Structure 1
Amino acid sequence: MSRIIANWWRSQQFKLAIRRGNTRQAMQLLQEIQKSGARLSWLEKLFRDKLQLEISSQQYKQEVKTLKNNLNDTLQELENRNLDFLTQPQNRQVLVPKQEFIESVYKKFNLKYHDQTKLQCTGIDQDIFNDIEENLIAYLQDELSKIPEKQLKLKLEDALKDINNLKIGQDPSYAFSLTPHVYFMKYFLENVYCLYLAWFLVYEAGLLSKNINILDIAAGPGTVAYGLALFLQSSIGFLQIPQMHISYYSLEKQDAFQYRGLQFWRRYIESRKSLINAYFRFVTDDIFNFNSQSSNLPENFFDFIIISHCFFLESNKKQQANSIYNKIINRSIKINGYVILIIQDKKLFKFYDMPRTEDISQEKYIVNQFVSDLDLDLVWYRYLTSRDSRRPCSAIEFAKFADEKLPKQLYMTSLIQKYFDQRHNSNYKLDDYVILAKK
């Protein structure tokens, strides 16, 4: 009887939400009703069908709008630039996806699609990631050995406490000298793992060219560049291409992150056999104080603009950041350029006060809303996850799953256990949406 009453009560709340025009609450209640197994009323079915129709209509309108904009922009580009891009095809050569290499990545990373957007990953390219991990350990040990042992413990504790604010959705102050080092130990490898796969998806879609200009907003130590470098390094033996030319522009508030990122790049990436000719430019600036009109960001220059994990829950900050991102994108991206957005699953759904769910129509609605809030058009997105479910699980459940199924950071674990008394293994894990969009 209590179940019948609960179902009746949810239906009444659903009707009330519809009357009040509270679409967000109605979506959440519909999800609860469907999960309970109760039969849907005609109103609930109508609302469900309306949502699916809106998503289809939104995608259709975006496709039409994108095609029109591409046509108009291309015609304008031809007129303004005197066909320069047609007379320089060597600068726009796309890397044609090679099936043998794609299959190799799928096998090594144990990639598995559960539906059209959810891509589970429980593997890794051991040769590539063990190599960078081992060299990162050597770099960190060299750096930490320069600090007296008594000071080192206190400095590491302060930096760890600061950077752990990321776990509760707050911004660290980044005011401590060893914050970049702790970031390298706790988050860097995992983020590079994610960026590797993001670039792989771009390559698989046939959108990666041999000469590219990249703007990395809130770049940290340059995980975007590292992810691309490792991806290209793993393609050696599969892709027969001339050496690539990459112009990488880092826009980051913390100069210590930029400095340490470049320092390790010179020590590690530039010492390896590589297809990359990379040119770096660093601008240390807070995006909230950023003025695109007075900045030295080049106009119509970047093939890719990447914003990775730099999104804000607080409403005013979110609106301000979105406005600045939009100005930068409109000013600096090429007419045929792309924007890559990477955001953690729980933060994306928290933006819109919605629970994580296996309902793909709801997920598409939220992703489209997120992209629309940045005044962009969605091209495609993938949910990269270590687990086979979108729904959250307990910390104990995940720890057991990670220990049994996920690749371990073999070298980094020993260093973290030494300095932070961590008892469990550090793993490579994913819970991010990789979203490709256009202006």
Structure 2
Amino acid sequence: MIDLRALREDPDRLRVSQRVRGEDESVVDRLLDMDSRRRTALARFESLRAEQKNVGKSVSSAAPEEREELLAKAKALSAEVKEAEAEAERLGEELDQLVAEVPNLVEEGAPEGGVDDFTVMDEIGTPRAFDFTPRDHLELGEKLGAIDTERGAKVSGARFYFLTGVGAMLELGLLNLAMQQAVANGFTPTVPPVLVKPETMEGTGFLGAHAAEVYHLPADDLYLVGTSEVPLAGYHADEILAADALPHRYIGWSTCFRREAGSYGKDTRGIIRVHQFNKVEMFVYAHPDQAHEEHLRLLAWEREMLDKLELPYRVVDIAGGDLGTSAARKYDCEAWIPSQQRYRELTSTSNCTDFQARRLNIRYRDEAGKPRFAATLNGTLATTRWIVAILENHQQADGSVIVPEALRPFVGREVLEPTGM
């Protein structure tokens, strides 16, 4: 949710942000008009209520000949007050609805454009030159007895899978390595709930443009999360945090669910785009003035994980038109996928500034003791999709896969060998 006071002071900032996102700039004028009308209605209501109170006080001390006239005036004012209050409430609800539809202000410096207009910030490692034709992750996973999409589809339908044997060990090892790294850097480990209330899902910005991606359980009015960002954002809802304790850093391990609406025919092979997966997610509550620097720290921790797994990757600055509703700036790390001869997203980290905190009423006290809205940030540290990059980049000609050294203590072996099945 954007700050209306800041909008009044600098409406052009939102205009620029909307333009960078490729969104409608006219919403700025509609917001300003509705905000002005609501404030006018509130002022009228408060003025009439004050007059009503003064007339009410005058009745008891008025002379008998004046009392009847004052009572009639009080009755008329009572009706006007009710009408003015209803009008102010109506305009307030309309304004709240319009504000809820407006995405976060894009951070200055983010690229303009859509999904293909990102800026490459850095490239790390060189894609491997194979002296054999590399297999894709599904063929490798099947030979290793690690991935079973056929039985996944039999049990649950398309885009579901089983991780079996070394596949399960690889995922557990990957997620444990991520948890260990996060805890070593001061994060509090959490295993959050994966079902959340509507106000929590809406507060994080996932029930607007992304509502089609979310699984809803109507009988319980609960939502399955697509990332532990959602429950972790709700963790401190309606709380005032101690400013000297910021930043609060949490690391959440959860199963995630996405409907993949609109992705028909895309990435149907393997486990790149699936309905259920596991993820380790960083989430931070920070002082707004420190959010930009904290965002860069989250990116650095993501890069550290990718370096440990010895993967070639690039870092990209996502264009405004490809940002989620809550994000002011987003950086992705994309690993090289040999079978596709292109980079694919493995991590994403977003600075949501105070957008989510305003919706969820998460504040801290400033130096003067006044409550202010905190900033929230998130970043992926490991997820099931990483198995794709690990298998494909570290495969050998015989179908075996070298386990990156950092993962070996968690997986319990140096090489994953084909099962012969």
Q: State TM-score, norm by structure 2.
A: 0.25
Larger radius of gyration: 2
TM-score (norm 1): 0.24
Structure holding more helix per residue = 1
